[in-house]
Structure 1
């Protein structure tokens, strides 16, 4: 009997020990979910409630939720990226997640993409940036939209380590964006398994494929898997040599430069060289191109420039002092729904530097203000590394079966339709559906061609930031992309 009692006591003790051990492992497991890579501490999913935006000044009344705030991408250095996330207007649980990136490098996806192009709240040009208006053609009608200010130094994003700002380039930007996504999924765990797409324009023509490649490569680890299905790129910088040739040929074919200047460039410029400007004739001829573009809006050839006192000081016009400036600039010239307004960047700056706006977006406490600018020219001028071409990444993503759509507004002189055609032609892809018009509301919206693994389309009469000029057409095109359907080719 005594032996039986002892055995029962021992069994009871063992059960208690196992219970305590399991509990500790459970707590440890939950704790470790807050970390990703290199000991970088991530914020838990409970934080998303504190990021809910509830009192944004001037916001139109809507039925969907939106969130804004910071995500840590490097705890050691204190690197924090700012995001703004809008749930889909209807049935967000059934719709994909899309990350939108603007370029520059150094320009804000919040200032451009979210509140000038495709977000639900646009800066009101009738109120000098002191209010918002509802966008009837917002892309969150079709998807959950996530806008990221990247890299640190752009918009509200920052680092507590000064040396971080000296290392900014393509690779750091891609890795921080990748870390951001995994961290963000901890805030919003229900989105981790959603169908995912990346979209962007201009210098994001490099950001987007580079991030997509990183996701593709690391998806081999099931614990890091992101369900990336495709990428969408507008007027994208793709391959430096072809981009330059396209810029020059477009300027000549659209009567911006003379025959003589064009002939000099064709004769003296080797854009495949690591330093084409060492040829003095080439250098001077390209300066002439930039000089002529300085007179108009390179991002929208046939619309007005802004004559406001601050317009030309915030980097809106082509800088002529350096070829580096021309090569990588992505400052867009937008329009509003009721007509074109080339001064909208100034209104965005006024809006995002309001104390009550920064407090509502959880970017500051409303007293210690951040100095928000739509583009950071220091980042732009000091960019450390830029891949000369992302065509090899295109090939890799095409082989992986990702959906790749590229579109061009055909009145953009900065990354013109010719640049994109020249770049894509180096892929030598077989044509599966030949060149034809696509339609929106019974009118030709542009032309498109389908290749094996890629779709290319134009937007007739649109500048660099296509959704600013063709909001309804852009939404229809975006919907076709998400559904994997060709743009409408009949009236």
Structure 2
């Protein structure tokens, strides 16, 4: 029977895709090809019944043999011409939150979880613009593990382990080694991203050619960059949006010195009053409803009372993360606990004792160091020629646009173009400020996880970032 026009077209597209994929991997040695094939994901449970014209891979990469430490990744080739597209590494924050369960499955990956749980195609997936790599980092997060203690986790070891992961991942996927490489993330990845970029930047100066990573820049959404300005901006934003009383706001301002790494008990007493907001509304997206279902197991729900003085870093990772839908986090938690999903992804091969959770509070509670300010690192990397963009959803109350604006003022860069609207088709998408060496973008109406609330705008942002082009200043 003659093929229909549609079937013929589908056959030709599939054939061309397979030919291009084969050409892309022709030079791989048999051992490397076998390692890649072992990680290839054939299909996912509840995957939409449509032709998938890109390859995906997932599995483990050992980063520390002595501590039996391995990090889990999920990689998607670009939807077209992967051999010609850059590579983006995406990192979620916490510390302790999964990039697989959050960034990949709820924000920018090609498959998004929905009620069921099941999967749907993401028409605004970032692998339309680049090859896309997600990493559960550090060990203890998502499906990543260490068979030894996790009580040495912190900013420094996370950056070093992520660098070791990249070196070993590129050995498994050498066809991507020369591609332009970018790092992206959100929230506490405001630490992870520039710290990893800094390690790569320094190591590239002394590495042999085979260890060189073609790092070009990084982009972070609603970033946690500077304890002083991030905290000060959070309370200013809350007061400005009518969330706290004048009396509580003035008390916080009077009793808290956020330039100090140690907060007094008087300050914490006021902060605990502010924290009651997290029990009432979604502070990560002020104007969306909360999920009627029970919240999934993630990071801690309440801040325990503390006496004497408390390190500033103690607060961040104990505040629960939130998503849109508003129940998407529940769907993701249930989906990645399915044995058939774990088998398809080559995950949980060591039978981790705990269930899969989006955010592991044990990792956050054991955090040993959290850099007070990333501004010196960012200044160094800007001066080193890296492209740096920050974007901020303007309805996030946890790491609000106010905080990031204070942080950028503290950074002290010269402004080239100030507070210009940018457009997503006919609508204003937000505003931009172009600094010498850095671009800042606000995303109108988006919460903490910008791609979840503004998927079309987020794809527009990453496409322009990769092309190093300004966002459109006129409607189109």
Q: Is the structural similarity TM-score above 0.5?
A: yes
Larger Rg: 1
- Residues in 2 aligned to 1:88 and 1:417: alpha-carbon distance in whole angstroms: 31
Residue number among 405, 412, 415 corresponding to 1:431 in the alignment: 415
Shift of 1:444: 0.4
TM-score (norm: length of structure 1) = 0.86
3-state DSSP of counterpart to 2:411:
coil
3-state DSSP of counterpart to 1:476:
helix
1:108-147 matches, cutoff 5 A: 108-125=98-115, 127=116, 129=117, 131-147=118-134
- Residues in 1 aligned to 2:352 and 2:148: alpha-carbon distance in whole angstroms: 19
Contact 2:394–2:446 (CA under 8 A) maintained in structure 1: yes
Residue number among 29, 33, 44 corresponding to 1:56 in the alignment: 44
- Residues in 1 aligned to 2:300 and 2:429: alpha-carbon distance in whole angstroms: 27
Residue number among 407, 411, 415 corresponding to 2:391 in the alignment: 407
- Residues in 1 aligned to 2:220 and 2:174: alpha-carbon distance in whole angstroms: 27
Q: Which residue does the alignment assign to 1:247?
A: 234
Relative to 1, partners in 2 of residues 1:312 and 1:195: Cα closer, same or farther, differing over 3 Å? closer
- Residues in 2 aligned to 1:44 and 1:330: alpha-carbon distance in whole angstroms: 42
Contact 1:299–1:413 (CA under 8 A) maintained in structure 2: yes
- Residues in 2 aligned to 1:88 and 1:403: alpha-carbon distance in whole angstroms: 21
Residue number among 89, 104, 123 corresponding to 1:99 in the alignment: 89
3-state DSSP of counterpart to 2:200:
helix
- Residues in 1 aligned to 2:304 and 2:387: alpha-carbon distance in whole angstroms: 37
Pairing 1:445–2:433 present: no
3-state DSSP of counterpart to 1:166:
coil
- Residues in 2 aligned to 1:48 and 1:152: alpha-carbon distance in whole angstroms: 22
Shift of 1:314: 3.5
3-state DSSP of counterpart to 1:478:
helix
3-state DSSP of counterpart to 1:219:
helix
**What CA deviation, in whole Å up to 9, does each residue of 1:186-240 have, x standing for no partner?**
1100101110000000000000000000000000123321110000000000000
Shift of 1:328: 3.4
Q: Which residue does the alignment assign to 2:145?
A: 158
Q: Which residue does the alignment assign to 1:361?
A: 345
Pairing 1:327–2:293 present: no
Q: Which residue does the alignment assign to 2:191?
A: 206
Shift of 1:58: 1.3
Pairing 1:231–2:218 present: yes
Q: Which residue does the alignment assign to 1:299?
A: 284
Shift of 1:366: 11
Relative to 1, partners in 2 of residues 1:182 and 1:320: Cα closer, same or farther, differing over 3 Å? same
Shift of 1:324: 4.8
Residue number among 438, 450, 454 corresponding to 1:454 in the alignment: 438
Relative to 1, partners in 2 of residues 1:58 and 1:217: Cα closer, same or farther, differing over 3 Å? same
Pairing 1:289–2:274 present: yes
Pairing 1:190–2:200 present: no
- Residues in 1 aligned to 2:289 and 2:300: alpha-carbon distance in whole angstroms: 12
Contact 1:193–1:226 (CA under 8 A) maintained in structure 2: yes
Q: Which runs of 5+ in 1 are unaligned?
A: 1-33, 35-42, 336-340
- Residues in 2 aligned to 1:392 and 1:254: alpha-carbon distance in whole angstroms: 31
Q: Which residue does the alignment assign to 1:418?
A: 402
**What CA deviation, in whole Å up to 9, does each residue of 1:264-317 have, x standing for no partner?**
111121011121234x1x2222111111332111101111112213x1754485
Pairing 1:171–2:156 present: yes
Q: How many residues align?
A: 437
- Residues in 1 aligned to 2:135 and 2:261: alpha-carbon distance in whole angstroms: 32
Relative to 1, partners in 2 of residues 1:366 and 1:350: Cα closer, same or farther, differing over 3 Å? farther
Q: Which residue does the alignment assign to 2:68?
A: 78
3-state DSSP of counterpart to 1:50:
helix
- Residues in 1 aligned to 2:435 and 2:285: alpha-carbon distance in whole angstroms: 28
Q: Which residue does the alignment assign to 1:5?
A: none
**What CA deviation, in whole Å up to 9, does each residue of 1:229-270 have, x standing for no partner?**
000000000000111101110110011100111111111210
